[in-house]
């Protein structure tokens, strides 16, 4: 696993667009069906827009109909960290980049086989390579 990346809020603001900062550093959510990662591709890796950590393989992507990119598992077991999120009157599992703690989205237990998981991820948190 890579070492944790720590930056000041000003450094993050200089590196990210206002929307990327709002979602990744302030735990925001982009509007559904507005991102550019909703259409499945045939190959590639989605990296963290903040630090470049490899997060998701496109082969693990599926169309969930939610309006956000969805994956059934991360690219590697240690790519994503999890935190209980009780905001907005709900109990959910937050998905965060394991390297820079960027907010990615949430994980739900209603995904397809083989894992049964749905990683519902904000597209502005991802860059495809």
Residues with catalytic function: 120
Distance from C-alpha of 100 to C-alpha of 80, rounded to nearest angstrom: 10
> CB-based contacts of 67: which residues, under 8 Å, 6+ apart?
31, 32, 33, 34, 38
Q: Which DSSP state fits 118?
A: E
Alpha helices (H) along 18-65: 18-24
Q: How far is CA 113 from the centre of its chain?
A: 20
Q: Which residues contact 6 (CB under 8 A, 6 or more apart)?
A: 100
Structure tokens at 8: 């000041």
């Amino acid at each position: 696993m890579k070492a944790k990346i720590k930056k000041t809020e000003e450094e993050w603001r200089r590196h990210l667009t206002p929307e990327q900062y709002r979602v990744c550093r302030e735990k925001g959510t982009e509007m559904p069906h507005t991102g550019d990662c909703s259409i499945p591709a045939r190959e590639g890796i989605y990296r963290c827009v903040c630090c470049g950590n490899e997060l998701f393989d496109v082969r693990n992507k599926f169309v969930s109909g939610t309006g956000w990119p969805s994956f059934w598992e991360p690219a590697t077991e240690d790519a994503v960290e999890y935190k209980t999120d009780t905001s907005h009157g709900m109990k959910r599992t937050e998905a965060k980049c394991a390297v820079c703690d960027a907010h990615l989205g949430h994980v739900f237990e209603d995904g397809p086989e083989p894992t049964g998981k749905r990683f519902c991820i904000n597209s502005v948190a991802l860059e495809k390579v």
